[in-house]
Structure 1
Amino acid sequence: MALPFPAAHPASATDTALSIGLSAVIVAVTGDDPKVLAVRHGGHEQLPSGPLERDHRTLEQGLRNWVERQTHQVLGHVEQLYTFGDRDRRETDGEHAARALSVAYLALVREARPAGDADAAWESWYRYFPWEDWREGRPAVLDAIEPGLRAWAATAPNAGVGSMRAERLSLAFGFGQSRDEERVLERYELLYEAGLVPEGLRERGVELAPGRALLPGVEMAGDHRRMLALAIARLRAKIKYRPVVFELMPPTFTLGQLQRTVEALSGVNLHKQNFRRLIEQQRLVEETGEATSETGGRPARLVRFRREVLLERPAPGVRLPGAGGRR
Structure 2
Amino acid sequence: MSDPAAQIEIGLNAVIVSVADGVPQIVQVESADPGTPGSLPFGPFDPLHHRTFEIGLRTWVEAQTALRVGYVEQLYTFGDRGRHRVEGDAGPHVVSVGYLALTRQTQDSENVLARQKSRWRSWYDYFPWEDWRDGRPPMLDRELLPALHRWSEEPLPSDTPVRALGRGERIRLAFGTGEDWDEERALERYEVLYEAGLVREALQDGRPAALARDSLPNLGRAMRFDHRRVLATAISRLRGKLKYRPVVFELMPDSFTLTDLQNSVEAISGRHLHKQNFRRLVENANLVEPTGATSTATGGRPAALFRFRRALMSERPAPGLRVGGR
> Do the structures match in fold with TM over 0.5?
yes
Distance 1:321 1:163, change over 3 A: closer
Q: TM-score normalised to the size of structure 1?
A: 0.88
* RMSD, aligned α-carbons: 2.5
- Would you say 1:302 and 2:305 are equivalent positions? yes
Counterpart for residue 65 of structure 2: 71
Counterpart for residue 7 of structure 1: none
- Would you say 1:167 and 2:162 are equivalent positions? no
- The alpha-carbon deviation at position 109 of structure 1 amounts to 0.1
Supply the distance in 2 between the matched residues of 1:196 and 1:146 (Cα, whole angstroms). Answer: 11
For residue 97 of structure 1, give the secondary structure of its aligned residue in structure 2.
Answer: coil
The CA deviation string for residues 172-198 of structure 1, in whole angstroms up to 9 with x for no partner, is: 101335110100000000100111101
Counterpart for residue 265 of structure 2: 262
Counterpart for residue 44 of structure 1: 37
Amino acid at match of 1:104: G
After superposition, where does 1:126-205 map in structure 2 within 5 Å? 126-142=124-140, 143-157=142-156, 164-204=166-206
Contact residue 155 and residue 162 of structure 1 kept, 8 A: no
- Of 15, 20, 39 in structure 2, the residue corresponding to residue 25 of structure 1 is 15
For residue 122 of structure 1, give the secondary structure of its aligned residue in structure 2.
Answer: strand
After superposition, where does 1:224-263 map in structure 2 within 5 Å? 224-263=227-266
Contact residue 188 and residue 226 of structure 1 kept, 8 A: yes
Amino acid at match of 2:152: A
Structure 2: runs of 5+ lacking an equivalent: none
Supply the distance in 1 between the matched residues of 2:292 and 2:89 (Cα, whole angstroms). Answer: 65
For residue 19 of structure 1, give the secondary structure of its aligned residue in structure 2.
Answer: strand
- Of 288, 301, 309 in structure 2, the residue corresponding to residue 285 of structure 1 is 288
Distance 1:221 1:169, change over 3 A: same
- Of 101, 104, 122 in structure 2, the residue corresponding to residue 107 of structure 1 is 101
Contact residue 199 and residue 219 of structure 1 kept, 8 A: yes
- The alpha-carbon deviation at position 157 of structure 1 amounts to 2.4
Supply the distance in 2 between the matched residues of 1:169 and 1:90 (Cα, whole angstroms). Answer: 22
For residue 46 of structure 1, give the secondary structure of its aligned residue in structure 2.
Answer: coil
Contact residue 9 and residue 94 of structure 2 kept, 8 A: yes
Structure 1: 4+ residue segments shifted above 3 A: 87-92, 114-118, 160-163, 205-211
- The alpha-carbon deviation at position 209 of structure 1 amounts to 7.4
- The alpha-carbon deviation at position 95 of structure 1 amounts to 11
Amino acid at match of 1:180: D
Query: Percent of pairs identical after alignment?
Result: 52
Aligned residues: 311
Distance 1:116 1:72, change over 3 A: farther
Amino acid at match of 2:99: Y
Supply the distance in 2 between the matched residues of 1:140 and 1:270 (Cα, whole angstroms). Answer: 20
Structure 1: runs of 5+ lacking an equivalent: 1-10
- The alpha-carbon deviation at position 217 of structure 1 amounts to 0.4
Contact residue 199 and residue 222 of structure 2 kept, 8 A: yes
